[in-house]
A and B are shown apart, each in its own frame.
Chain A
């Protein structure tokens, strides 16, 4: 077997694979944040809690109703999206005329409430989610072993990311959305229901978070706190990438996941902070973010 810089290939590729999985979550979550920010101009702090809701949704479907993982993949994201739509209609909507920072504070408060409830009723020790049979096992690729469950996460997030990109950049609905991002008043004057578009966009962004949660359920323990720390890293990812471009969010997410994986191989102590260090460097060199327009 060949070795790279004294690192056995199984270790190297194993960590790169883990990095790619983290990157999948960064990409899907930062994509949701970017879509919401584009139209609503708020940073959705509830995103981490909604990711957690997705995982709990899958867990509840399996344990209370006996509905399996493959159904959950399709059922849970719309449900989480609908909870987001309710939040938007009832609460977030009232803040659009104010400074955007109030939106951040409101969604932070909502996150505390949601996470607090789940901690109260489900504890913090984490609940196991039994993966479906199809995700057990894996392939030996020669240089490494690829478990099915991990391959599925990467493929599914890529599909969702690209589908989102296609909807926003290539369809008529996406064109409305991009137009409303530029100038909501003008788009409204053309007879498009902008408030409805805003609500649906928030619901869609939240559904993306819920989808990430369903993906996370079989590989991480389902835990009320699972979204809290993750979302802060995703914020850093968003700062690095800038929220101007959909493809930019996707690329930054996967790329930073890979870098994190590499760091875990060569300098494990730094893996938790490497993304923040990159953020500091990007702020020094290109403050608007790699793909961002200057804000």
Chain B
């Protein structure tokens, strides 16, 4: 993404050092924590968990697009494959939920390493097409492989007992497990963005030849952020399989890859909190407009067009501009 037109350039320039979290970020995290702790008593817990899973997915995607400058159009592959493996591990192997999620995450990481090392050989638009094509390959694999259950997916996945002790069948209990995963994921992403590694990523995003000339092995950084992003997307997908007790082809199809792009774009790519807001908006829209059928798709398309044409900063990006602080 070029510097002059990039909504995220501002965040890059004013970003803080690795030493500490600026006060307004701390306040937002605290507010988010308070709100999300109270949320299951105010809202339908399953719905909030869905938002949390997709928010983590979008944040993982944003790590790659917003900070690495790499547009992957195939993130459904990691999300969906992790979801299949986690569901299979919990149902067929009888693993406890945390081990099932770890299994799904590991598979997403390996998949990210394999696809990433091929995809980073191309740049820009080709990179997007390559990732999309590989994700479609994973989709066809999921359609045919025996363990994924084809069109039916893996249904009735047991939620099981956390660490073999805590029964997760109650949605309220499960909620706090998911919340813990969500916060761990978000804080890890926050740490990555503000680490020296994250600064190098931004340098590569803004001017790759310059970063090379400064002696950075650019491809290693790109591959590292790709694998990190795929892994965290895997955490989100694996968790979603436990929450909904279902892994299906929807999770691995290209529409899912498009949705996560939309969430990030709408919320504000290259911002810390944007993808969370974008995911909340899109999931809410899907939930409450589901009975209108294909109008949801049309609505998503319209949001895409409007966001690209005249709202490239995204919701949080615009807010950040108003308060003149990176969010």
B305 and A113 form a contact (CB under 8 A):
yes
Q: Which of B15-23, B123-131, B166-174, B227-235 contacts A (4 or more CB under 8 A)?
A: B123-131
Which chain B residues border A283 with CB–CB below 8 Å?
A: 118-119, 121-122, 130
Q: A108-B258, A232-B136, A283-B130 are in contact. Are A116 and B294 (CB under 8 A)?
A: yes
Which chain A residues border B47 with CB–CB below 8 Å?
A: none
How close is B70's CB to chain A, nearest CB, in angstroms? 10
A236 and B301 form a contact (CB under 8 A):
no
* Closest B residue by C-beta to A229: B136
B92 at the interface (CB under 8 A from A): no
Main secondary structure of the interface of B (DSSP, over half): helix
Report B99-141 residues with CB < 8 Å from chain A CB.
Answer: 118-119, 121-126, 128-130, 132-134, 136-137, 140-141
B305 and A91 form a contact (CB under 8 A):
yes
A100 to B2 alpha-carbon distance, docked (Å): 10
Which chain A residues border B39 with CB–CB below 8 Å?
A: none
Which chain B residues border A98 with CB–CB below 8 Å?
A: 2, 5, 312
A101 and B295 form a contact (CB under 8 A):
no
A110 and B301 form a contact (CB under 8 A):
yes
Interface string of B15-40 (1 = CB under 8 A from A): 00000000000000000000000000
A277 to B133 alpha-carbon distance, docked (Å): 10
A233 at the interface (CB under 8 A from B): yes
* Closest B residue by C-beta to A279: B133
Which chain A residues border B128 with CB–CB below 8 Å?
A: 43, 101, 104
A178 to B281 alpha-carbon distance, docked (Å): 44
Q: Name the interface size band of chain B.
A: 35 or more
A277 to B141 alpha-carbon distance, docked (Å): 12
Q: A99-B1, A295-B124 are in contact. Are A106 and B309 (CB under 8 A)?
A: yes
Q: Tell me how many residues of A have a C-beta within 8 Å of chain B.
A: 46
A236 to B73 alpha-carbon distance, docked (Å): 13
Residue picked from B1, B307, B308, most chain A C-beta under 10 Å:
B308
B71 at the interface (CB under 8 A from A): yes
Q: A104-B128, A269-B144, A287-B121 are in contact. Are A112 and B133 (CB under 8 A)?
A: no
A-B contact pairs, 16 of them (CB 8 A): A98-B2, A105-B304, A106-B305, A112-B304, A113-B297, A113-B298, A113-B302, A115-B297, A116-B298, A236-B133, A239-B130, A239-B133, A272-B143, A276-B136, A284-B121, A295-B126
Ranked 7 nearest A-B pairs via Cβ: A109-B304, A112-B301, A113-B301, A116-B297, A116-B298, A276-B137, A236-B133
Given contact pairs A116-B298, A229-B136, A239-B129, enumerate 8 new A-B contacts (beta carbons under 8 Å): A91-B309, A98-B2, A101-B128, A105-B308, A106-B305, A109-B303, A272-B144, A295-B124
